[in-house]
Structure 1
Amino acid sequence: MTDTPNSADQASAASVLQAILDTTVDGLITIDARGRIIAFNKACERIFGYAADEVRGRNVSCMMPEPYHDEHDGYLERYHNGGEARIIGKGREVRGLRKDGSTFPLDLAVAKVEVDGHVLYSGIVRDITERKQAEAKILLQNEELGRFAFMASHDLKEPLRSIEAFAEILSLDYADKLDAEGQNYLEILMSSASRLRAVVNDVLEYSRLDTDLGSAEEFDAGKVLKQLRDELRDQLEQTGGQVTMEELPVLRGDRVRFYRLLQNLISNALKYCPPERQPEVHVSAALHNDFWQFRVQDNGIGIDPEYYSVIFEMFKRLHTRDTYSGTGIGLAICRRIVENWEGEIWIEAAPENGSVFCFTFPATTGMISGEGT
Structure 2
Amino acid sequence: MTDQSHAHLNRRASDLLGVERFFELSSDLLCILDAQGNFLRLSDSWQPTLGVALGELQARPVTDWVHPDDLEATIAALAGNRRGERVSGFVNRFRTGSGGWCHLSWNSAPAETDGLIFAVARVVSDRVREREAFYHAAIEATNDGFWLADPQGRIVDANSAYARMSGYSLDELRAMGIADVEVMEDEADVAARMAAIRASGTSIFETRHRRKDGSVWDVEVTVLFSDIDGGRCFAFLRDLRRRRRAETLLKARLHLSDVGRSGDIDRLMTEVLDAAERLTGSSIGFFHFVDPGQSTLSLHAWSTNTLARMCTAEGKGAHYPVAEAGLWADCLRTGEPLVCNDYGAAPNRRGMPDGHAVVSRLLSVPIPGRQGFVAVIGVGNKTEDYVPDDIDLVRELATIAMDIVNWLRAQSDQRALSDALAATAREWSAAMDSFQGGVAILDAKRRLIRANQAFFALTASQPDDRLGKHVHCLQDVGESIADCPLCDALSKDQPWHATLEADDPANPSGRPLEVRLAPIADETGAARSLLLSLYDLSETREREIQMARTIDQLTDSNAELERFAQVAAHDLQEPARRQVLYSQLLLRLLQGQLDEEKQRYFGYIMDGALRMRDMVRELHTYADAGRLPQADEAVDLDQVLADVLSALDHDIDESGAQVSVVGLGRVAGRRPRLHLLLLNLLSNALKFHRPGTPPCITVSALDHDGWLEVAIADNGIGIPREHRANLFGLFRRVHAVGDRPGMGMGLAQCRRIVEALGGRIWIDDGCVQGTIVRFTLPRAQV
* TM-score normalised by length of structure 1: 0.71
Unmatched segments (≥5 aa) in structure 1:
60-71, 89-93, 367-373
CA change 1:301–1:8 in 2 (3 A) is: closer
CA change 1:125–1:266 in 2 (3 A) is: farther
Give the match for residue 696 of structure 2: 280
CA change 1:16–1:288 in 2 (3 A) is: closer
Give the match for residue 432 of structure 2: 21
1:353 aligns with 2:769: yes
Alignment of 1:264-303 (within 5 A): 264-303=680-719
Give the match for residue 53 of structure 1: 460
What displacement does 1:119 show?
5.0
Alignment of 1:199-218 (within 5 A): 199-213=615-629, 215-218=631-634
Deviates most, 129-138 or 306-315 = 129-138
Give the match for residue 412 of structure 2: none
- Quick one: distance in 2 between partners of 1:280 and 1:249? 23
- Quick one: distance in 2 between partners of 1:101 and 1:207? 49
Alignment of 1:357-372 (within 5 A): 357-364=773-780
The amino acid of 1:223's aligned partner reads Q
- Quick one: distance in 2 between partners of 1:166 and 1:95? 71
1:339 aligns with 2:746: no
Give the match for residue 660 of structure 2: 244
Determine helix, strand or coil for the equivalent of 2:626. Answer: coil
> Is contact 1:198–1:327 with CA below 8 Å preserved after alignment?
yes
Which of 92, 109, 114 in structure 1 is aligned with 2:520?
114
* TM-score normalised by length of structure 2: 0.36
The amino acid of 2:653's aligned partner reads E
What displacement does 1:321 show?
0.8
Residue deviations 1:247-273 (CA, integer Å, cap 9, x gap): 221223212211111111111111111
Give the match for residue 581 of structure 2: 165
- Quick one: distance in 2 between partners of 1:174 and 1:111? 89
> Is contact 2:762–2:773 with CA below 8 Å preserved after alignment?
yes
The amino acid of 1:273's aligned partner reads H
- Quick one: distance in 1 between partners of 2:612 and 2:766? 33
CA change 1:160–1:351 in 2 (3 A) is: closer
Which of 670, 673, 686 in structure 2 is aligned with 1:257?
673
Deviates most, 114-123 or 167-176 = 114-123
> Is contact 1:28–1:43 with CA below 8 Å preserved after alignment?
yes
The amino acid of 1:360's aligned partner reads T
Residue deviations 1:324-356 (CA, integer Å, cap 9, x gap): 122222111111111111111111257562100
| Higher relative contact order (CA closer than 8 Å, sequence separation 6+) | 1
What displacement does 1:180 show?
1.9
Give the match for residue 547 of structure 2: 132
CA change 1:186–1:297 in 2 (3 A) is: same
Structural RMSD (CA): 4.4
Identity, in percent, stands at 30
- Quick one: distance in 1 between partners of 2:660 and 2:421? 70
Alignment of 1:183-194 (within 5 A): 183-194=599-610
What displacement does 1:184 show?
1.9
The amino acid of 1:285's aligned partner reads A
CA change 1:15–1:351 in 2 (3 A) is: closer
Determine helix, strand or coil for the equivalent of 1:336. Answer: helix
Which has the higher Rg, Structure 1 or Structure 2? Answer: 2
Unmatched segments (≥5 aa) in structure 2:
1-414, 463-470, 476-483, 504-508, 522-526
- Quick one: distance in 2 between partners of 1:206 and 1:190? 24
- Quick one: distance in 1 between partners of 2:455 and 2:744? 49
User: In the comparison of the two structures, how many residue pairs are matched?
Assistant: 327
- Quick one: distance in 1 between partners of 2:499 and 2:548? 14
What displacement does 1:153 show?
2.6
1:155 aligns with 2:561: no
- Quick one: distance in 1 between partners of 2:454 and 2:558? 34
> Is contact 1:110–1:122 with CA below 8 Å preserved after alignment?
yes
Give the match for residue 370 of structure 1: none
> Is contact 1:312–1:335 with CA below 8 Å preserved after alignment?
yes
- Quick one: distance in 2 between partners of 1:110 and 1:273? 61
Residue deviations 1:43-67 (CA, integer Å, cap 9, x gap): 789xxxx7442799349xxxxxxxx
Residue deviations 1:271-320 (CA, integer Å, cap 9, x gap): 11123221222111111222111000111110112222111122222110
> Is contact 2:455–2:534 with CA below 8 Å preserved after alignment?
no
